[in-house]
A = this chain, B = another copy of it.
Amino acid sequence: MTIAVVGLGKAGLPLAAVIAEAGFDIVGIDVDNTRCQQINTGKNPIPEEPLLDELIKKYGGKKLIATSLYQDAKYCDFFIVIVPLFLNENHKPDFKLLENAFRNIGKILKKGDCVVLETTVPPLTTELRIRKWLEEESQLSLGDFYLAHSPERIMTGYSISRLREFPKIIGGVNSESGTKAYAVYSKIIPNLTLVSSARVAEFVKVIEGCYRFTNISLSNELFKIAEEFNIDFMEARTHANHKYCDIHLPSVGSGGHCIPVYPWFLINEMEERGKRKDVTLLRSSYDINEDMPEFWAHKIIQESKKTQKPFKSITICVTGITFRKGVKSLMNSKNLDLVKLLMKKGLKVTVSDELYSPEEIEQLGLTFGKPEESDMVFNPFTLDIQIQDIMEKK
């Protein structure tokens, strides 16, 4: 059996590598031809995934052939799609990339083939949209082919171990699809469970994200309250947490293309059904998250008084702009939002980030600077605000 994996990004490539490791031949499809060539010469294009180096070196261009052409996958009988789903400015999912992938698969789909979606999507997407795209392009009907959903559960930096160890689920749009897809997937994923339907699989992944999102916002709300009482939130959090309590880490807000995105999958669907009042907690969590850069800007400006310098002359270095430490991505980064907000408020803001060169920082329209050359330093990953005595250092 040859398996096609569509999308060789941060989620798709680790999966393709693990499938190769399980003994399957793979055609990997990605729009980025340079990336395909890199993979085919055994080079790992995702530096954040060190465990991937060895696998790509071993399988790239051999068991795993990367290509930009869907036609190269026409002999495959098992298709996995793992392309991104972004939100537009109204928080609605833009299905363009998914539609393109599935319509292209539809064109080469044969009787008996099995298709699995890995991208996290709003509930009902697999059984309604994706089935339709495949049926329209292939002229086949569900039953001629099989369709299932197995939401990715990777975390950039830990993707290989996640695939090898973490619980994963798969569900079919009908019972036969579930069984067929499970039979193949269980050879790749050791910790796999078949759930009752694709929509349950969709929902599982989305609510997992909603749990994290709401709990990050809860932590941030409690952090603000602690400030009001002059309480060290981190001390309180340490002692509040135990077996039955898991107050998350506070932050400048959650970012990336997962956690702050998934709640909208549910908010949209419920609002379209006139059930706005049944998503109030998710909406409140969103409002809190949006407000966090403003909260930190305010706090930093309050602290800046300790420099005893005129406001407009104070320099502050923010030591991170990525949405999460260790992942080179600015997607929905609240840390980047904070930098821009501080600039707008009139502070002289410089940026340093272990993942960005001074040139890359300048290309973003920001000013590179070293922490030791600033009056203040803010580390958005630890939330430490430092006031420095530059004169003393010199």
Contacts and interface: CB of A to CB of B under 8 A. Distances in A.
A284 interface: yes
A113 to B, nearest CB: 26
Nearest to A285: B281
In the complex, the count of this chain's copies comes to 2
A198 B38 CA distance: 59
12 contacts: A123-B231, A200-B232, A203-B226, A203-B231, A205-B240, A211-B240, A221-B278, A225-B266, A225-B270, A228-B278, A229-B269, A281-B284
Nearest to A273: B228
Nearest to A197: B231
A249 interface: no
B281 A217 contact: yes
6 nearest A-B residue pairs (beta carbon): A284-B284, A208-B240, A280-B284, A204-B239, A123-B229, A221-B281
A218 B222 contact: no
Counting chain A residues whose Cβ lies within 8 A of the other chain, the interface size class is 35 or more
A266 B195 CA distance: 41
Choose among A169, A281, A284 the residue with the greatest number of B CB atoms under 10 Å from its CB: A281
A242 B210 contact: no
Nearest to A295: B278
Contacts of A167: 239, 242
A214 B214 contact: yes
Contact of A207 (B200, B208, B222, B287): B222
A306 to B, nearest CB: 22
Interface in A182-236: 193, 195-197, 199-200, 203-205, 207-208, 210-212, 214-215, 217-218, 221-222, 224-226, 228-232, 235-236
Contacts of A203: 226, 229, 231, 236
A355 interface: no
Nearest to A291: B277
A318 to B, nearest CB: 24
Contact of A228 (B200, B226, B242, B275): B275
A70 interface: no
A269 B245 CA distance: 23
A224 B244 CA distance: 24
Contacts of A200: 231-232, 235-236, 239
A127 to B, nearest CB: 11
A282 interface: yes
A169 B215 CA distance: 23
Choose among A166, A240, A285 the residue with the greatest number of B CB atoms under 10 Å from its CB: A240
A124 interface: yes
A256 to B, nearest CB: 15
Nearest to A205: B240
A300 interface: no
Given A196-B235, A225-B270, A239-B193, A214 B218 contact: yes
Contacts of A231: 123, 197, 199-200, 203
